[in-house]
Amino acid sequence: MSQEHHLDALVVGTGFAGIYALYSLRKKGLNTKAIDRAGDIGGTWYWNRYPGALSDTWSHLYRYSFDRELLENYPLSRKYLTQPEVLEYLRHVVEKYDLRKHMQFDTAMTGAKWDDRTRTWAVRCKTGDVFHVKYLVMAVGLLHTPNTPDIPGIQTFQGEAVHTASWPVELSISNRRVGVIGTSSTGIQVVTAIAPKVKSLHVFVRRPQYTVPSGDQPWTPEELSHIRKSYPQMWSDAFASAIGMGFPEPARKFLSLSPADRSRILEDLWQGGSGLRFMFGGFADLVIDEAANEEVCQFLRGKIAGIVRDPQKRAVLTPKELYARRPLCDGGFYEAFNRENVFAVDVQKHPITEVTRTGIRTADGEHYELDVIVFATGFDAMDGSYAGMTIEGRGGGQNQDLYTQWRRDGPATYLGMFVAGFPNLFLLNGPNTAFANVPPLTETNVDFLVDIICRAEEIAAGTGRPCKIEPTPKAQQEWTGIARAMVESTLFAKVPSWIVGKNVPGKLEYSPLFLGGLGRFRSILAEEKERGYQGFVGPLGGAKTQAHL
C-alpha cells in the first residue's frame, strides 16, 4: 500500500553499498530505510544470475571489513565466490544486523525533488510511496542499466532472448542451440559455464579480449588460517593500495628487467591466476608503457595459440588491440572452443545485420539458427545507472534534472559522491569515484558520508535549521577534470570500453572513473575532512553565503 513516509534518510539500493549505508546511518541514530526495485537484497548480485556468474576478486577481500567476527567466522571455501555465494553472504549480513525490517522491496524510485524551503527531498516511487527525507543516498550500483544493442528484428525472434543482467531463473539451455553476443567479463563466464551443456554454442565475437586463467581452487586449511590471522594487516594494505585487491602492486617497470625475467614473471602470473593480478600485480607500468604492453600482448597471443586448436576459431579469438581494458580471467574459456559444439563467429569482419524469427544473420549472408540468444553486452555504466529517474535539485525545472545534465555535459561530481546544485544527495560509488575493489571502495564512500552527515547534524542542532551538504561548483569542476584527465595518461584511453565511458553508442565519451588509486582517494577524503570540508558551501565548508546558512 502506497504511503507518505517521513525519515531522516533514504537509501536507494540494497547491494553491498546500500546494506552498509543503511547499517551505518542507523547505527548513528538516523531514522533510515532502504528501498530496492528488486524483490530482495543483493543489487548486482541479485540481477546477474546467469550461469557461471562469479566475482573475479579474491573471496577473502570480496566482503566487508568492518566486522571482525564476520571476517573470522563466515565460511570461505574457494578463491572466488559464485553469484549465489555472494548473495548468501549479503543475506547473512542483513540477518545478523536485523536490517530487513528497514527495507522495502519491489519499490522502484522514479524521481526526487529537492525543496529548498524545508530542506528535504521528496522521493517518488512506482508504488506511489513518497519518502520525505533530509538525506538521499543513492546506492544503485556502477553497472545497473543493461546495454542491449538495437539490432533490427530483435522483436521478431521466436526463441528466447535474454540479457545476462536479467537472466530468468527458469530458462533452460540444456541441449539447445544457443548464441552468445559479447566476450568480455560476463560473456566469457557464460560461455565457459554453458559450453558442455548446450547442443551448439555460437559465440559472436566483435573485439576479442585477452583473458588469463582465474586459478580458482579451494583455499587450503593453511591458507585459511593465514588469512584469518592476517586480516587486519591485509585490510590495511588493501586500503592503502591502488586497486585494493589483496596482492602487492610492485613498483618495478617492465622494460627495466631482462627479457628472461619478464617472461618468467609473466609465466608465474599466468600460472598463479587472476586477471587483475596479471595486469596490476607484476609490474607498475603495463597500462602506461605501450612497448611493455605490446610485449605482454604477444605473450598472451602465444598462450591463445597454444590452447585453441582450430585455426579459424583461434584467429577470431586472438585480440589485435592493446591489453588495456578491465582485465579478465576465466575457468577454461579458450579451452571451451576445442569442443566440437562451440563456434566462434567473427562479427567484426561480418557484423550482425539482423535478428530473424529463428536466429541471427551476419553481413556475409550467413544465418545462424538459434533457440536462445544471450546478450552479454554489458551496461550503460556509472551515470547510466541513473537512467529512468528524474532527480531535480535546487531551482527545479528540466535544466536541473541530474541525468539530463549528465547526458548533456558528461557526469560531473565532487569526489564521485556529491553534486553541485543537489544538496544532501549522495552517490555511493558514483561517477568519478575510484577504480578499485568494490567492497573496500564502498566502505570508504560510506564512512566519509557518515562523517559529513554527522557534522551536518551537529551544525543543524546548533542553528536549529537543517544543514545543506553541497559541493562548490569549483571543487566539482576540479575533481571531474582530474578524473577525466587521468585516464588520458594511460593506455585505457586508447581502447574503447565502459571504464573509459566508451561502450554505448551515442553516449558522451567521458571517463567516469578516478584512476589515481584507492589509497590516494582515501587520502584525499581524509584531507577534505581535516581541512573542514573546504570543498563544500555553507557552514560546512568555505563559501558561507546567506543562501546556505
Q: Which residues bind ligand NA7 (CB under 6 A)?
A: 143, 149, 181-187, 204, 206-207, 326, 347, 352, 376-379, 498, 503
- What is the distance between the alpha carbons of residues 340 and 28, in angstroms, rounded to a whole number? 59
Nearer to ligand NA7, 352 or 391 (CB): 352
- How near is the Cβ of 186 to ligand NA7 at its closest, in Å? 3
Nearest by Cα to 108 from 44, 39, 48, 47: 39
- How near is the Cβ of 33 to ligand NA7 at its closest, in Å? 29
Nearest by Cα to 245 from 308, 329, 323: 329
- Tell me the residue number closest to ligand NA7, measured at CB: 378
Count other C-beta atoms under 10 Å from residue 82's C-beta.
Answer: 16
DSSP 547: G
Nearer to ligand NA7, 24 or 377 (CB): 377
Nearer to ligand NA7, 124 or 326 (CB): 326
- How near is the Cβ of 353 to ligand NA7 at its closest, in Å? 11
- How near is the Cβ of 361 to ligand NA7 at its closest, in Å? 13
Nearer to ligand NA7, 182 or 539 (CB): 182
Nearer to ligand NA7, 14 or 184 (CB): 184
β 145-146/433-434 pair status: unpaired
Cell of 508: 558522451
Nearer to ligand NA7, 375 or 426 (CB): 375
Residues in the chain: 549
- How near is the Cβ of 504 to ligand NA7 at its closest, in Å? 9
- How near is the Cβ of 86 to ligand NA7 at its closest, in Å? 12
- Residue 233: burial class (beta carbons within 10 Å; 0-12, 13-18, 19+): exposed
For the stretch 153-190, what's the b/e string if a residue is b when 16 or more beta carbons lie within 10 angstroms of its beta carbon? eeeebebbbbbbbebeeeeebeebbbbbbbbbbbbbbb
Nearer to ligand NA7, 268 or 509 (CB): 509
- How near is the Cβ of 347 to ligand NA7 at its closest, in Å? 5
**In sequence order, which residues have a C-beta less than 8 Å from that of residue 327 and are 6 or more positions away?**
210, 212, 275, 276, 278, 279, 280
